Structure 1
Amino acid sequence: MRALAPLTLVLSLTSQAQAHEFWISPQTYQVAPGGEIIAELRVGEKLKGAGFPYIPTRTARFEILQGDTRLDPQARIGDRPALQRVVETPGLAIVVHETADTFLKYPSWEKFEAFTSQKDFAWAQDMHRDRGLPEHGFSEVYRRYGKALVAVGDGAGADRPIGLDTEIVALANPYTDDLSGGLPVRVLHFGAPRSDVQVTLFARGADGTVSTSLHRTDGAGVAVLPMMAGTEYLVDSVILEPLEPAAEGDPVWYTLWASLTFRTPNE
């Protein structure tokens, strides 16, 4: 059982916010060299959600990676969109944002039950009761790890593990590779593949309609996701771990959220 680490950020939030995905939402996923990558940090459901400004105290990591090059996003406190950065070099850009830890309290058992059922953690309901924990008013800590793939110019290059505690790695380039057989992604936790876990795929077509589908990783932590041209995608995978509270009122669960966004070309 994970021991509670010091919290970087403590906020009072409802569990409704916890059930929402977090993702990096570029204004456009393909920009010319010398153009600007503009992206919101969003929280919501089914690719619909409010954008949040850049706040350093709520941010653990924020950068753009191109090959071996790391670009500072040059964000200033309060910027919205949070990312507005000119990128000169062509190639695949990996936009990375890791939040600080956030604290929340569940007002009811039904909220926890709905979240754990939706994210394939029904086992946590029995574990919670077996641990003798209360069914309302208990606390949780969560941290979010977002990545977005943006094509600068031709977008050539490859996604890769970048050292996040949990992350989703695209094993093909959605801008340059043949996706007729789907896009394979690998889900990692501290660099190790997560086998037999749920992956949620949100897809928004040109008409704005959003569909949702559930997938599972294989023994190598890989899930092959169906792809269509001209579609924006959000890939989501969550980890839930029990926490051993050091004092009354301390969080008893810890969740880690991984997301990956990209948009397939029209043709």
Structure 2
Amino acid sequence: MWRPDPRCGKWRPPPPIWGVVLFFAAASLFAHDFWIEPTTFRPEVGSTVGLALRVGQGFRGDPVPRMNEKIVKFVLVSPSGAETQVEGIAGRDPAGRARIGTPGYVVAGYRSSPSFLELPADKFEAYLKEEGLESVIEARARKGDSRKPSKEIYSRCAKAVLDAGGGGTTGFDTALGFRLELIPDTGPKKLTPAGRALKVRLLYEGKPLAGALVFALNRDEPEKRLSARTDGAGRVRFDLPRAGVWLVKAVHMVPAPAESGAEWESLWASLTFEVP
């Protein structure tokens, strides 16, 4: 929120939320989920929507302030495919704001640069199991690394689908070219009580990723999470039991580039939207 500066009678923003920065640094150590949480998933045309970044678990998150040095891409894409850079002030929450110019489905996307992470062996193995990364567990076992600490780089690939002006019919499936990306095949308004069958594709470097574990969580009942593995075409289907705000997420891990100083690289994809 903005507030007046009594010294000059002008408006000035509050100080950066450094406490949140420190929290984010600590939270990142445990490879928590990351997502975009707009001020509304159904903004009015002509309005400005806040695009907050959140980190946490079980769809319970804390604010992530804008850190320009971590942003590779932060955009809002219109129904016609026009891409607008999401602006914001460093150290502030929400991390970005964007004006809604046309009606229809718009897609917000955030891609971060990699961060380095070290974890004790037991925490890393537990995290791999939780995210369905058994192939990495097996690879570590073959190398005799199961009891060794991990060295990992990780980055975020977050998206949100918004229905501007309530007129969305196309554009919800816009691809942003992220290395790991979740793309819905079903628009939120099609997910009615008569049939809430959500179909989603998971792409890695533009190609379908088979066998990946994908989760879906409702904000009001995150403990009742759904999970399924992608088929050969990288697709997964969830029969959503209720309306509300949903988070779909997946993690993929590959050997890290030699120059990174890490052994593994993880990519965290997320997709948020609201079912009316």
TM-score, length of structure 2 as denominator length: 0.83
Measured against aligned partners, the alpha-carbon deviations of 1:174-209 in whole angstroms (never above 9, x if no partner) come to 13565715011000001111112211111123xx66
1:195-249: CA deviation from partner (whole Å, max 9, x where unpaired):
12211111123xx6642121111121111112245311111111111236459xx
Over 3 Å counting, the alpha-carbon distance change for 1:172 and 1:127 in structure 2 is same
Q: In 2, distance between residues paired with 1:89 and 1:74?
A: 18
- Given that residues 47 and 210 in structure 1 are in contact (C-alpha distance below 8 angstroms), is that contact kept between their aligned partners in structure 2? no
The aligned counterpart of 2:174 is 160
- Structure 2 counterpart of 1:79: 92
1:180 to 167, 183, 195: 195
2:142 maps to a residue whose letter is: D
Q: 1:235 and 1:137 mapped to 2: Cα distance?
A: 29
Alpha-carbon shift at residue 52 of structure 1 (Å): 1.0
Distance 2:275 2:214 in 1: 19
Q: CA deviation at 1:253?
A: 0.8
- Alignment partner, residue 257 of structure 1: 268
Give, in whole Å, the separation in 1 of the partners of 2:240 and 2:250.
Answer: 18
- Which residue is 1:140 aligned to? 152
Classify the secondary structure of the residue corresponding to 1:149.
Answer: strand
Q: Which residue of 2 aligns with 1:68?
A: 81
Structure 2 residue corresponding to 1:237, chosen from 236, 250, 255: 250
Equivalent-residue separation in structure 2 for 1:64 and 1:134 (angstroms): 42
User: Which structure is higher in helix share?
Assistant: 2
Q: 2: distance between equivalents of 1:53 and 1:197? A: 30
Cross-structure match for 1:127: 139
Relative distance call for 1:14 and 1:242 in structure 2 (3 A) is: farther
Does 2:209 match 1:194?
yes
Distance in 1 between the 2:106 and 2:155 partners?
23
Q: Secondary structure at the match of 2:233?
A: coil
Between the aligned partners of 1:16 and 1:68, the Cα distance in structure 2 is 32
Structure 1 distance, partners of 2:255, 2:71, is: 24
Whether the 8 Å contact between 1:13 and 1:104 is mirrored in structure 2 is no
Quick one: distance in 2 between partners of 1:138 and 1:14? 17
TM (normalized to structure 1)?
A: 0.85
How far does residue 172 in structure 1 lie from its aligned partner after superposition?
Answer: 1.4
Structure 2 unaligned runs (5+)?
A: 1-23
Q: Does 1:55 align with 2:67?
A: yes
Aligned to 1:222, which of 235, 243, 248? Answer: 235
Distance of aligned partners of 1:155 and 1:170 in 2 relative to their CA distance in 1, 3 Å threshold: same
The answer as to whether partners of 2:116 and 2:151 remain within 8 angstroms in 1 is yes
| Structure 1 Cα separation of the partners of residues 257 and 50 of structure 2 | 40
Cα distance between partner residues in 1 of 2:271 and 2:180: 11
Q: Which moved more, 1:74-83 or 1:140-149?
A: 74-83
Of 34, 43, 48, which aligns to 1:31?
A: 43
Q: Is the 8 A contact 1:96 1:148 kept in 2?
A: yes
Separation in 2 of the partners of 1:83 and 1:13?
19
Q: CA deviation at 1:138?
A: 3.4
Query: Which residue is 2:13 aligned to?
Result: none
Secondary structure of the 1:30 match is coil
Change (3 A) 1:184 1:126: closer
Task: Find runs of 4+ consecutive structure 1 residues off by over 6 angstroms.
Answer: none
Alignment of 1:83-122 (within 5 A): 83-106=96-119, 108-122=120-134
- Over 3 Å counting, the alpha-carbon distance change for 1:133 and 1:196 in structure 2 is closer
Amino acid at match of 2:264: W
